Amino acid sequence: MNAEQKQVLYQEAEKELVSITEGETNVTALMATISCILAQKFDYYFWTGFYIVDPAKENELVVGPYQGTLGCLRIPFGRGVCGTAAATLKTQVVKDVHAFSGHIACDSRSNSEIVVPVLNAQGQLIAVLDVDSVETGSFDETDRIALETLMQRIFAQ
């Protein structure tokens, strides 16, 4: 899929999500709805969901709402792609997960991945958005910008 086609789909997804979630503040409802809309919209999304910062454990993510095959339940900060995004607060775009040292393989069909840190209005990390693809090199700058913008629009306002 080229950048233009991706952009059209991201624009549609953002429009739908902003309209559906208007006035909703429940984080579980927001994350479940985002996972659903994105997974339906993009054929190359294989696992789509959130790992949430667990308030009961220091520096640990726990699985949240998602669409896809079984995901691992907990990821310490610094481990795998999700843990790296949480520890660095930087979006991770991984063209080939098998070349990423420490990658946590929840499903061996996953070949590329993007993980976006999710911040609240106070700038605190509340979760990461994790999207996996069965293809290698599915994600690039177009995905990064669109997903960062969407997370900001939904969770940081």
Bridge partners, 92 (sequence order): 115
Give 9 or 76: the residue with its C-beta nearer to ligand SME. 76
Count how many Cα atoms sit within 13 Å of the Cα of residue 36 in the half-sphere of its side chain.
Answer: 10
Span of 5-13, 36-44, 79-87, 143-151 interacting with ligand SME by CB under 6 A:
79-87
Is residue 47 within the footprint of ligand SME (CB under 6 A)? yes
What does the alpha-carbon distance between residue 38 and residue 47 come to, in Å, rounded to a whole number?
10
Give 21 or 144: the residue with its C-beta nearer to ligand SME. 144
Q: State the nearest-atom distance from the C-beta of 136 to ligand SME, in Å.
A: 14
- The sheet that has 60-67: what strands, in order across it? 74-76, 60-67, 47-53, 125-133, 112-119, 92-94
Q: State the nearest-atom distance from the C-beta of 104 to ligand SME, in Å.
A: 4
Give 115 or 150: the residue with its C-beta nearer to ligand SME. 115
CA distances (Å), 47 to each of 66, 104, 121, 134, in order? 7, 13, 26, 9
Span of 17-25, 30-38, 80-88, 138-146 interacting with ligand SME by CB under 6 A:
80-88
Among 1, 32, 36, 104, binds ligand SME (CB under 6 A): 104
Contacts of 143 (CB under 8 A, 6+ apart): 6, 10, 93, 114, 131
Give 3 or 89: the residue with its C-beta nearer to ligand SME. 89
Binding site for ligand SME (CB under 6 A): 47, 71-72, 75, 80-82, 103-104, 106, 110, 113, 130, 132
